[in-house]
Structure 1
Amino acid sequence: MRSKDEQHIKITADGSTTVYSKCFDQHYHSIFGAEKESEVVFIDLGLCFAFERFEEINLLEMGFGTGLNALLTKNFAESQSKKVNYTGLEAFPITEEMIGELNFDASQLHALPWGEKVEVNDIFSFIKYNTPLQNFQTDQKFNLVYYDAFAPESQPELWTLEIFEKLYSLMEEGGVLTTYCSKGYVQRNLKAAGFMVEKHPGPPRKREILRAIKLSWHD
């Protein structure tokens, strides 16, 4: 069991804020631009691509964190009038103090109760679970996964073949997973789990990011 985390706010290079966790010695998003990282890795590479493949998105985010990815997803889905059913997992929620100091307003999502699905509006449904991915159980199938765990040096247990096999089993055929981490063994583990892995240009100061696709029979 980890001791109580010490957290503080960091203003990143694009002016958006993130949170630093002393327990993990990690920032929740890139210090070279938190919002830009989210837009490139999760919205552009993941959500936009999934909108081209599916009429409705069932989204699983590993690492709800500051709520930035969820907020950007909600806003983009509303702008496109396309339905997103969001499920977020967070084992170590940030404090209310940190939520209040962020310079983007995800407070509505943070205030929603854990474990209860809420229809935020006609476009966006939301549920979050205070649980590790390893303990998460569901009958739902997802066609988009945002994989935003802390880096492998801080959470090696979340970048294993077994973890990616679990995610593969939770996804629909043709489903898409995106992540900021492109380390060689992460790519190998994704491929061993059954994914087709693509490397794409990353956000500032990040050369490559990954999109992994659960192949269907017609791909």
Structure 2
Amino acid sequence: MKADVRLILTADGSHTAVNNVLDKTYHSIHGAYQESQRVYIELGLLEALATFTDEPLRIFEMGFGTGLNALLTAREAEAYKRPVHYTAIEAYPLAVEEAHQLNYDQLLGTSYLTDLHKSPWNVPVPINPFFTLTKLEGSLQTLQTDERFHLIYYDAFAPTAQPELWEPEIFRQMASLLLPGGLLTTYCSKSYVQRNMRSAGLLVEKHPGPPRKRDILRAINPA
């Protein structure tokens, strides 16, 4: 089922989508690009690239959404010349026609966004020489995979909209997907989210967030 959305401009000039059913934005209204760059690239991808240097990086994204996190990752993979295998799950994908209206390629000087959204589901698709995308259409709760990941981008809608995606059992599932030393980053730093992560055996760090966001989280699988 396609998402029911409308597009708006955020404070840094980049688009985000608003889910009309949940009345929630996919990214911060204070800057979609700045949020994704800080939470998922600076705190997640760059740390993972420095930590895991001897093998292709495997990334899992909860919530493909607008494709912004995947786009930024594809850009960095090409810039660093590091192979990245990127798996994303999305229950309600954007229509390609709506995704085509997003201004990320123009803003970032990239050319991948349409390819990301048009790529078929459930099969690996090379987007550039260093970035391969596998999109899974479905819910996180029904995900079945034997794959393990170096990094998880946890980008579900806020707990007020989807509380079931911030419960202890979800973070136990996420911990089971991480390789030893693997990382999880998210924009949500609520105290009970931190507790739920710790209950799953993850080590939780608070870090400064993007504009108008004091704290964001990075969790580490110590196993």
TM-score (norm 1): 0.95
**Where does structure 2 lack aligned partners over 5 or more consecutive residues?**
106-112
Determine which of 163, 168, 188 is the counterpart of 1:161.
168
Partner AA of 1:29 in structure 2: H
Partner AA of 2:59 in structure 1: L
Partner AA of 1:213 in structure 2: I
State the match for 1:69 in structure 2.
69
**Consecutive aligned runs of 4 or more in structure 1 exceeding 6 Å deviation:** none
CA distance in 2, matches of 1:71, 1:139: 25
Tell me if the contact between 2:60 and 2:152 (Cα under 8 Å) persists in the aligned partners: yes
CA distance in 2, matches of 1:5, 1:166: 25
Tell me if the contact between 1:179 and 1:210 (Cα under 8 Å) persists in the aligned partners: yes
Partner AA of 1:188 in structure 2: R
Determine which of 120, 132, 136 is the counterpart of 1:113.
120
CA distance in 1, matches of 2:95, 2:125: 22
Q: Alignment RMSD, CA only?
A: 1.2
Deviation at 1:57, TM superposition (A): 1.1
Deviation at 1:170, TM superposition (A): 1.0
Deviation at 1:17, TM superposition (A): 0.3
Tell me if the contact between 1:165 and 1:193 (Cα under 8 Å) persists in the aligned partners: yes
Tell me if the contact between 1:146 and 1:178 (Cα under 8 Å) persists in the aligned partners: yes
State the match for 1:151 in structure 2.
158
Q: Report the more deviating stretch, 111-120 or 4-13.
A: 4-13
Q: Mapping of 1:102-141 within 5 angstroms?
A: 102-105=102-105, 106-141=113-148
Determine which of 6, 9, 12 is the counterpart of 1:8.
6
Partner AA of 2:42 in structure 1: D
Deviation at 1:199, TM superposition (A): 0.1
CA distance in 1, matches of 2:129, 2:75: 13
Deviation at 1:77, TM superposition (A): 1.1
Tell me if the contact between 1:10 and 1:17 (Cα under 8 Å) persists in the aligned partners: yes
CA distance in 1, matches of 2:30, 2:98: 20
Deviation at 1:5, TM superposition (A): 4.9
CA distance in 2, matches of 1:166, 1:111: 29
Partner AA of 1:80 in structure 2: Y
CA distance in 1, matches of 2:186, 2:8: 22
Tell me if the contact between 1:19 and 1:98 (Cα under 8 Å) persists in the aligned partners: no
Structure 1 residue 52 corresponds to structure 2 residue 50: yes
Deviation at 1:119, TM superposition (A): 2.5
Partner AA of 2:58 in structure 1: N
Partner AA of 2:22 in structure 1: F
Determine which of 30, 33, 37 is the counterpart of 1:32.
30
Aligned residues: 214
**Where does structure 1 lack aligned partners over 5 or more consecutive residues?**
none
What's the CA shift string for 1:124-169, capped at 9, x where partnerless?
1110001111011111100100000000000001000000000111
Tell me if the contact between 1:176 and 1:214 (Cα under 8 Å) persists in the aligned partners: yes
CA distance in 1, matches of 2:181, 2:69: 22
